[in-house]
């Protein structure tokens, strides 16, 4: 069958359905005037518009309408909707235009009336507009809240060192060294394992012998939380001492000498961040030049294997195997064979970071020996000593014991007057006291309200400690057995002292506590931040009021209530306050709070407030018998006799009345 002939141009085909459902082709003839036009003939634009209208795709109304009446109603509704939408758009455009005109007029009026001296000043935005300036200055937490560990100085070098050993082997060694899964004996104790693990760190930095795998375990399990805790304390000390203390050393080119005793180099890395921040500020002002700030760094590391690892990322650092003991070393001069005519200068440090050194010493005299060594190494002209331990009752007691010892044995009272006359002073038995004060976290220079009686206590609930969040490195998350979570938190107890410098004269004690209760929200005078109460617990937020637990400058624990009716700004700042902040906006009510200090060996459980109460009974013998005198009260004589039986008991009852 051959090909079909082409169909003429004037012929069309229609399909007609038959009764059986089949279709039949029906041909018809198209008139010549309606044939296909010449494609070369141009089509006018009006014809194109008409054809476009005729060839429009059927709309929603065309498809939905089932009759002409329904079509007309839907078409009318559609047109009315388009008209209403157009009117709404025109109204919005007109409103926007009027607002723009109003803004232009306002800007013209503002430019005409704005003082000339404020034209180029910075506008207050962000937190400065929402919070009181004293609230921001008293914050313990930084911004952002989570500390990011330095990548180039710490995270990347440790990660490269850990690639030599399988991470599972390092994790197993870390669990062996730091008390099991979760590393409860590392600087950060998991919340589920805080009960019953009141010991020091399992692998201290000054340990003499470490295996290769223990060196890796120290880097992976100890360094990240140690850095976070030291960084938090250094930031707070920097705020309270002031920037002039550090900037003056950087300007003259001498720099600061710092000793890291206990954190294995993590404290030096944190200190470098503080120095770098101050150096950049001075560099922007043009007061210093160069990229590297001056200073000397020393770290105590006992193991050779750990020292070989840390020296790869601790540059320009002196490594010592143990703390120097200058207290028991004599001066090398005079008749000594190797001595010169003048005594050799002893090394001293401007900053000493003592991390996890005291809790591992079980005996008090061992802790006293460590403190004596640290104090002899501290610069006598403004040196800062920071003592840091784990956050549990035993760790707090170690820090509180150091604080109590320094205030009683090393520092003069805040009045500056010596307690003993020069004639009564004996250097063989007594230490010559110096100027100095507690920098942080305490705002009082007296007895700690949570440690009124020295020694250990059983069942202690209240103890001074703080926390710091940080971003976990991947290798540290693997040590904890959770590689997906990167949010870490470390809790710690600490105290910081400054030697050889008197505290600036300001109100203190009860006067400072009463003035802080009144508040400095509307005061023109700026308070001394170290005369303000510090929050020792997270705030309790209720509807219309916030309850804050403070350690006051008077040396007492109190609970303050900040209400919305008192001040909206103070109420807002109180709700946003955090554990460890200093508070300057006052309160509406205050009530004393007793410290839950636990039960001591001889005080019957009353450790706070009244302290230790030994039982004293005085027996007085006279012609009429024996008297018992207790607490200043006398009891009648006992006339009975153990051999008298009932007669003695009867006589005793008659004597007692």
pLDDT at res. 84: 87
Confidence band of 37 (pLDDT split at 50, 70, 90): very low
Residue in the structure block whose two tokens are 């100890």: 222
Strand partners, 540: 547
**Strand bridging mode 295-300 / 317-320:** parallel
Q: Does the structure show a pLDDT above 80 at 183?
A: yes
More confidently predicted of 347 and 540: 540
Q: Does the structure show a pLDDT above 50 at 299?
A: yes
Q: Does the structure show a pLDDT above 60 at 656?
A: no
**What is the DSSP secondary-structure string of 439-470?**
EES-S-SS--TT-SS-S--BS------EEEEE
pLDDT in tens, 230-259: 999 999 999 999 888 888 888 888 889 999
Q: Does the structure show a pLDDT above 80 at 443?
A: yes
| C-beta of residue 301 within 8 angstroms of C-beta of residue 218 | no
Confidence band of 61 (pLDDT split at 50, 70, 90): low
More confidently predicted of 210 and 430: 210
Percent of the chain with pLDDT over 70: 74
Q: Does the structure show a pLDDT above 60 at 119?
A: no
Confidence band of 346 (pLDDT split at 50, 70, 90): confident
Residue in the structure block whose two tokens are 């025109």: 90
pLDDT at res. 197: 75
Nearest to 388 by CA among 502, 487, 486, 468: 468
3-state secondary structure of 184: coil
pLDDT at res. 58: 60
Element (H, E) at 479: helix 474-479
Confidence band of 457 (pLDDT split at 50, 70, 90): confident
pLDDT at res. 653: 46
Q: Does the structure show a pLDDT above 90 at 268?
A: yes
Q: Which residues contact 37 (CB under 8 A, 6 or more apart)?
A: none
d(CA 440, CA 529): 11
Q: Does the structure show a pLDDT above 70 at 422?
A: no
Nearest to 258 by CA among 357, 380, 381, 383: 383
Q: Does the structure show a pLDDT above 80 at 214?
A: yes
| C-beta of residue 211 within 8 angstroms of C-beta of residue 176 | no
More confidently predicted of 541 and 648: 541
Nearest to 467 by CA among 447, 441, 448: 441
Q: Is 356 left (phi over 0), alpha (psi -120 to 50) or beta?
A: left
pLDDT at res. 461: 86
Q: Does the structure show a pLDDT above 50 at 114?
A: no
Give φ, ψ of 575 to 5 degrees. -70, -30
d(CA 473, CA 471): 6
Average pLDDT of the segment spanning 48-54? 48
Written as six digits, the tokens of 45 are 């634009």
More confidently predicted of 209 and 117: 209
pLDDT at res. 108: 54
Q: Does the structure show a pLDDT above 50 at 187?
A: yes
pLDDT at res. 215: 93
pTM above 0.85, yes or no: no
pLDDT at res. 289: 87
pLDDT at res. 39: 42
The total number of residues shown for the chain amounts to: 657
pLDDT in tens, 353-391: 999 999 988 888 899 999 999 999 999 999 999 999 999
| C-beta of residue 263 within 8 angstroms of C-beta of residue 226 | yes
3-state secondary structure of 638: strand
| Dihedral (CA of 550, 554, 560, 564) sign | negative
Which range has the worst mean pLDDT, 17-31, 115-129, 193-207, 415-429?
115-129
Please give the CATH number for the structural domain made up of 151-325+347-392+465-491: 3.40.50
pLDDT at res. 242: 86
Which range has the worst mean pLDDT, 21-30, 36-45, 71-80, 279-288?
36-45
Element (H, E) at 535: strand 534-535
pLDDT in tens, 572-628: 999 989 989 999 999 999 999 888 877 766 565 555 445 445 556 666 666 666 666
DSSP-derived secondary structure letter, 36: P
| C-beta of residue 249 within 8 angstroms of C-beta of residue 350 | yes
Confidence band of 34 (pLDDT split at 50, 70, 90): very low
| C-beta of residue 386 within 8 angstroms of C-beta of residue 233 | yes
Q: Does the structure show a pLDDT above 70 at 174?
A: yes
Q: Does the structure show a pLDDT above 60 at 175?
A: yes
Q: Does the structure show a pLDDT above 70 at 642?
A: no
pLDDT in tens, 311-331: 999 989 999 999 888 766 655
Average pLDDT of the segment spanning 178-195? 85
Most confident of 51-65, 455-469, 486-500: 486-500
| Dihedral (CA of 315, 321, 323, 329) sign | negative
d(CA 253, CA 241): 20
Element (H, E) at 267: helix 266-285
Average pLDDT of the segment spanning 210-224? 93
Assign 3-state DSSP to the chain and report helix, strand, coil percentages, each to 5: 35, 20, 45
Tell me what the pLDDT averaged over the chain comes to: 80
More confidently predicted of 306 and 595: 306
Written as six digits, the tokens of 336 are 């000594």
d(CA 33, CA 81): 42
Nearest to 410 by CA among 447, 444, 376: 376
pLDDT at res. 113: 41
Q: Which residues contact 220 (CB under 8 A, 6 or more apart)?
A: 158, 162, 170, 171, 174, 475, 476, 478, 479
Question: What is the rounded radius of gyration, in angstroms, for the C-alpha atoms of the chain?
Answer: 41
Confidence band of 481 (pLDDT split at 50, 70, 90): confident
Confidence band of 107 (pLDDT split at 50, 70, 90): low
| C-beta of residue 132 within 8 angstroms of C-beta of residue 521 | yes
Distances (CA, A) of 290 to 245, 256, 271, 279, 554: 20, 16, 19, 9, 46
pLDDT at res. 362: 83
Confidence band of 122 (pLDDT split at 50, 70, 90): very low
Residue in the structure block whose two tokens are 């089949």: 22
pLDDT at res. 438: 93
Distance from the first to the final alpha carbon of the chain: 147
Nearest to 264 by CA among 303, 290, 292, 238: 303
């Amino acid at each position: 069958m051959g090909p079909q002939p082409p169909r003429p141009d004037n012929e069309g085909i229609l399909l007609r359905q038959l009764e059986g459902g089949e279709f039949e082709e029906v041909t018809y003839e198209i008139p010549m005037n309606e044939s296909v036009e010449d494609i070369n003939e141009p089509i006018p634009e009006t014809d194109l518009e008409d054809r476009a209208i005729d060839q429009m795709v059927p709309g929603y109304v065309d498809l939905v309408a089932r009759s002409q009446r329904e079509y007309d109603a839907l078409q009318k509704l559609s047109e009315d909707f388009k008209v209403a939408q157009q009117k709404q758009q025109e109204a919005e455009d007109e409103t926007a235009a009027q607002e723009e005109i109003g803004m232009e007029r306002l800007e013209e009026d503002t430019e005409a009336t704005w003082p000339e001296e404020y034209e180029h000043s910075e506008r207050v935005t962000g937190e400065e507009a929402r919070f009181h300036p004293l609230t921001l200055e008293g914050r313990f937490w930084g911004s952002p809240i989570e500390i990011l560990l330095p990548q180039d100085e710490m995270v990347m070098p440790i990660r490269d060192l850990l690639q030599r050993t399988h991470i599972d082997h390092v994790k197993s060694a870390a669990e062996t060294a730091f008390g099991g899964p979760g590393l409860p004996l590392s600087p950060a104790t998991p919340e589920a394992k805080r009960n019953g693990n009141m010991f020091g760190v399992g692998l201290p930095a000054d340990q003499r012998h470490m295996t290769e795998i223990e060196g890796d375990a120290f880097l992976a399990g100890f360094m990240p939380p140690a850095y976070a805790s030291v960084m938090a304390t250094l930031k707070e000390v920097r705020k309270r001492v002031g920037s002039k203390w550090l900037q003056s050393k950087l300007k003259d080119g001498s720099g600061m000498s710092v000793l890291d005793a206990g954190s294995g180099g993590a404290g030096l890395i944190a200190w470098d961040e503080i120095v770098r921040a101050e150096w950049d500020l001075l560099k922007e002002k043009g007061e210093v030049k160069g990229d590297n700030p001056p200073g000397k760094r020393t770290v105590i590391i006992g193991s050779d294997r750990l020292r070989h690892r840390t020296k790869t990322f601790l540059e320009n650092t002196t490594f010592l195997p143990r703390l120097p003991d200058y207290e028991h070393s004599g001066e090398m001069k005079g008749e000594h064979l190797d001595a010169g005519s003048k005594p050799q200068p002893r090394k001293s440090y401007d900053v000493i970071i003592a991390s996890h050194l005291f809790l591992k010493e079980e005996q008090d005299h061992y802790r006293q020996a460590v403190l004596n060594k640290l104090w002899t190494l501290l610069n006598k002209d403004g040196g800062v000593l920071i003592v840091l331990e784990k956050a549990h009752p035993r760790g707090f007691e170690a820090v509180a014991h150091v604080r109590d010892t320094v205030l009683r044995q090393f520092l003069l009272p805040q009045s500056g007057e010596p307690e003993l006359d020069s004639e009564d002073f004996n250097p063989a038995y007594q230490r010559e006291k110096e100027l100095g004060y507690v920098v942080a976290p305490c705002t009082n220079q007296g007895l700690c309200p949570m440690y009124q009686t020295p020694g250990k206590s059983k069942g202690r609930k209240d103890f001074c400690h703080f926390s710091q969040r940080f971003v976990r490195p991947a290798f540290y998350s693997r040590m904890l057995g959770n590689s997906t979570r990167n949010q870490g938190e470390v809790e710690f107890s600490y105290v910081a002292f400054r030697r050889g410098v008197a505290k600036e004269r300001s109100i203190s004690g009860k006067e400072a506590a009463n003035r802080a209760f009144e508040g400095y929200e509307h005061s023109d005078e700026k308070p001394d931040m170290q005369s303000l109460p510090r929050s020792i617990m997270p705030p309790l937020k209720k509807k219309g009021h916030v309850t804050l637990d403070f350690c006051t400058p008077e040396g007492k624990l109190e609970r303050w209530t900040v209400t919305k009716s008192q001040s909206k700004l103070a109420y807002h700042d109180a709700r946003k306050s955090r554990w460890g902040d200093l508070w300057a906006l006052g309160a509406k009510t205050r009530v004393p709070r007793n410290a839950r200090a636990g039960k001591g060996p001889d005080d019957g459980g009353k450790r706070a407030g009244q302290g230790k109460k030994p039982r004293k009974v005085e027996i007085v013998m006279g012609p009429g018998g024996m008297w018992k005198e207790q607490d200043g009260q006398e009891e009648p004589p006992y006339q009975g006799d153990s051999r008298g039986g009932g007669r003695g008991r009867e006589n005793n009852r008659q004597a007692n009345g």
